Amino acid sequence: MAKMNIKGVLGLVLAGSLALSLTACGSNNNGGNNAPASDNAGGATNAATEKPASGEKVTITFQNIYPDPTDPKNGMMKKIVKQYETDHPNVKIELDSLNTDQQKQKLKTQAASHEVPDITIVNPAAQMQPYVDAKLFAPLNDMVEQNGLKDTFQDGVLDFYTFDNNLYALPDGNNIGVVYYNKDLFQQAGIANPPTTFEEMIADVKTLKAKGIQPMAIGEKDTWTGSFLFMNILLRTNGGPGFLSDVAAGKKTFEDPAFVEAVDAMQNLIQAGAFQEGVTSFDYNAGENIFKTGKAAMYYMGSWATGGIETSEALKDKVGVFKFPTVNGKGDPNQFMLAPGSAFAISADSKHLQETKDFLNYFMLNFPKEAFAVKGAVGLAQKVDGDFKAAGYSDMAISVLDLFKDVKGGDLSFDNTMNPGTSQGHLTSIQNIFVQKKDSAEVAKEHQTAYESNK
């Protein structure tokens, strides 16, 4: 035992890895060196998950972000899955339902160790780029042609998931940024019509505030909420879409007048007292709830919020929507913030690639019909056949659907356009102006610094 210095320690480490690799080989009995009272755990669980008996039975892992059993999307997913399993008795779909944050983290960890589940969820454009670059997803070009699946999608929406002419994911939604407003509260404040210019909007904010009505609600703890609104202002001050791609192409910098003007406008809105107190500690839900309980007059959000607002008791028949107005006379209200939704992608390493593609094809074909039935068809990425009015969708939902018809292009959210590092810098910077007024030029500079250090 005398000479056991560094060599000895190394020996221990080696012995350790050896022991681990041994357990790895006989993966069924790794109860050896730990807990004595525990033999059924490893064995039982291993056998069932991996390796189908003789290639006959196939298990497909379907990672998704519809975990809430009290949410209609969860029920509809389970329904389609069950139907498929009945039709294909040899296929078992294993649902790994996670909340959004956790799914993102899990997928990143899985991607790093090349353990991507058969089906997973990604966000469009810049956010899925790293995965595509690492060749983790299977192209779906052939699959989307089968059974006419491609034609069920709205024109152009698949572009956000296409890289070098290869389609890698199929979206569950396609939304636009709109302003919801509470007609009753507007009336109480003596405001006849929703604002058509940003200046009018700020005046309305002041009028509402003077009447003791909370003008707007937002859940700025989640940072992307404020960014989404800010980007819509930028879409106007820039006189049209494409500011961020111009920056990325080196044609503009964040210190461009259009950007500074947008920051100014945003600060004007905040300083006019538009948002509730303590806004940065309200998460998305708590923020939305202020509007849903009829306590705030306006709410800027993606059209996905329609379902939740529609079912709110306090707002029955009181809500209208309007397009985000022009800012300083600039921009076109028919250009919207575009929010193509999270999308289903298939792992390139899937052991049952064909079966997985077949299932996803079936799933997407049935998706619009089932979503329509559970009143979740506002903001789908696919075309929906059906009479919304007759199916009991509210007037508000139908007016949101009408807005979709006016869409003449627009911008994606910041984090769908820029790389993750720059996006984080942007999100933090915008959150900051909610709590303290800053020099707009300085905010622009912060952005430029973040962009340059993350190039």
Partner 1 sequence: MNVLKVSKLTIALFVLPCLILYVCLVFVPIIVSLYTSTLEWNGIGSSKFIGLDNFNKLLFHDAVFWPAVRHTLMFAVFSMLEIPIALFVAILLSRFVKKPNFLVSSYFMPVILSVVIIGQLWKTIYNPASMGGMLNQVLDWVGLHSWSQQWLTDPDIAMYSLYFVALWQYLGYHTLIQFTGIQNIPSDIYEAAKIDGAEGLKADWYITLPMNVPIFKISIVLAFIGSLQSFDMIMVMTGGGPGNATDVIATHMYRMSILSMKYGYGSAIAAILVVVCLVATVVINYGFNRLERKYT
Partner 2 sequence: MSQSTTTAALPRIKPQRKFSIGKILMWVLLSALIVTQLYPLLWLAIYSLKTNEEILSGQFFALPHALQWGNYSAAMESGNYVKYLLNSLKVTLITMVGVLFLSSLVSFAISRFKWKYGQAVMVMFLIGMMIPMQATLLPLMIIFKNMHILNTHWSLILPYIAFQTPIAVFILSGFMKSIPNEIEESAIVDGAGVFRIFWNIILPVSVPPMMTVCILTFINIWNEYILAATFISSERLKTLPFGVYSFVSQYSVNYGAIGAFLVLGALPVIIIYFLLADKITKGMVAGAVKG
The footprint of partner 2 (CB under 8 A) covers: 1-2, 4, 8-9, 20-21, 23-24, 27, 30, 34-38, 41-42, 45-46, 49-50, 61, 63, 65-71, 73-74, 94-100, 102, 105-106, 109-110, 112-113, 115, 117, 284-286, 289, 292-293, 295, 304-305, 308, 312-314, 342
Q: Specify the long-range contacts of residues 86-92, CB closer than 8 Å, at least 24 apart.
A: 88/359, 90/56, 90/57, 90/58, 91/57, 91/58, 91/59, 91/60, 91/355, 91/359, 92/57, 92/58, 92/59, 92/60
Q: Measured from the CB atom, is 1 or 249 closer to partner 2?
A: 1
| Contact flags string 29-58 toward partner 1, x per CB under 8 A | ----xx------------------------
Instruction: Give the Cα separation of 176 and 404 in Å (integer).
Output: 8
| Contact flags string 380-419 toward partner 1, x per CB under 8 A | ---------------------------------------x
- 39: which 2 tokens? 């033999």
Q: Measured from the CB atom, is 3 or 455 closer to partner 2?
A: 3
Q: Sign of the CA dihedral 251, 257, 260, 265? A: negative
Instruction: Give the Cα separation of 203 and 189 in Å (integer).
Output: 12
How far apart are CB 184 and partner 1 at their closest, in Å?
20
Q: Measured from the CB atom, is 8 or 386 closer to partner 2?
A: 8
Is 105 near partner 1 (CB under 8 A)? yes
Contact with partner 1 (CB under 8 A): which of 80, 98, 111, 319? 111
How far apart are CB 34 and partner 2 at their closest, in Å?
5
Q: Which does 73 bind (CB under 5 to 8 A by kind): partner 2, partner 1, none?
A: partner 2
Q: Measured from the CB atom, is 222 or 261 closer to partner 1?
A: 222
Q: What is the CA radius of gyration of the chain?
A: 26
Task: Please list every residue from 113 through 142 that binds partner 1, using CB under 8 A.
Answer: 130-131, 133-134, 136
- The pair phi, psi for residue 181, each rounded to 5°, is -140, 150
Total binding residues toward partner 1, as defined by CB under 8 A:
46
> Token match 């810049």: residue?
126
8 Å CB contact between 342 and 130: no
Instruction: Give the Cα separation of 382 and 188 in Å (integer).
Output: 39
How far apart are CB 269 and partner 1 at their closest, in Å?
17
Q: Which does 93 bind (CB under 5 to 8 A by kind): partner 1, partner 2, none?
A: none
Q: Which does 115 bind (CB under 5 to 8 A by kind): partner 2, partner 1, none?
A: partner 2
CB atoms under 10 Å from CB of 63, counted, come to 22
Q: Which does 27 bind (CB under 5 to 8 A by kind): partner 1, partner 2, none?
A: partner 2
> Token match 């007024």: residue?
437
Q: Measured from the CB atom, is 12 or 47 closer to partner 1?
A: 12
Q: Measured from the CB atom, is 162 or 454 closer to partner 1?
A: 454
- 42: which 2 tokens? 């490893």
Q: Measured from the CB atom, is 165 or 436 closer to partner 1?
A: 436
How far apart are CB 78 and partner 2 at their closest, in Å?
11
Is 210 near partner 1 (CB under 8 A)? no
8 Å CB contact between 231 and 411: yes
Q: Measured from the CB atom, is 306 or 429 closer to partner 2?
A: 306
Q: Measured from the CB atom, is 16 or 257 closer to partner 1?
A: 16
Q: Which residues bind partner 1 (CB under 8 A)?
A: 1, 12-13, 15-17, 19-20, 33-34, 104-105, 108, 111-112, 130-131, 133-134, 136, 221-223, 276-283, 286, 290, 419-421, 423-424, 428-429, 431-432, 434-436, 454
